[in-house]
Amino acid sequence: MLAPYCISGVIEAGCDEAGRGPLAGSVFAAAVVLDAALLENEQHTPWLEMLNDSKQLTDKQRQYLRPLIEQYATAWAVVDVTPEEIDQINILNASIVGMQRALDRLGIIPQHIIVDGNKWKPYIAEGQVMEIPAQTVVKGDGKYLSIAAASVLAKTYRDEYMLRLNELYPQYHWDTNMGYPTKAHYEAIKQYGITPYHRKSFKLYKN
């Protein structure tokens, strides 16, 4: 099982995003605070033991885990940052902004934040004056349960969003590529042009 927390005895939020690499669609970000009593129970529930980096899970496993995370987490939130905003501030900043917006919507103020990756910016919760301590963790979604939980939420919510967009634009095959730069996606862009959901700051055409 992944580590239950980075620092014990504090309200710790794990953050992750999904969708940094696609050519189209919003990037989704999530923040999760897991129940300390649940994490410290010696008889861990099977779903906690299953939690992992969402990329290491099947879609069926992610769909199984999502409602359990939402039910048993102390707090959770998922937000999206639109393609327009990604084009304005770049995808790295959009990912960080998204995770910080998710923290804003938790309903509680964490005392410590752990973030998947190696980039972060100072975060001050609304109504507070001090920056909340944070630690970046490379491949943290495969190391800490709360980051893994955020990874699952961000991934499943983004996939649902891309499936809805696919109903509007089936020619781009977003039901299978989720907006990522596959051969079929590039060929569709070449044939049909771009949609309002494409990230214009990305390289949308192959030479």
Which CATH number is 39's domain given? 3.30.420.10
Q: Is residue 46 part of a domain?
A: yes
Q: Is residue 86 part of a domain?
A: yes
Q: Is residue 1 part of a domain?
A: no
Least Cα distance to 61 among 2, 142, 149, 140 occurs for 149
Is 0.85 surpassed by the pTM of this model?
A: yes
Question: How many angstroms separate the CA atoms of 144 and 19, rounded?
Answer: 20
Q: Is residue 54 part of a domain?
A: yes
Q: 126 by DSSP, 3-state: which?
A: coil
CB 113 within 8 A of CB 132: yes
Question: How many angstroms separate the CA atoms of 98 and 28, rounded?
Answer: 7
pLDDT tens digits, one per residue of 12-29: 999 999 999 999 999 999
Number of domains in the chain: 1
Containing structural domain, residue 90? 12-192
pLDDT tens digits, one per residue of 150-174: 999 999 999 999 999 999 999 999 9
Q: Is residue 119 part of a domain?
A: yes
Residues contacting 47, CB < 8 A, separation 6+: 64, 65, 68
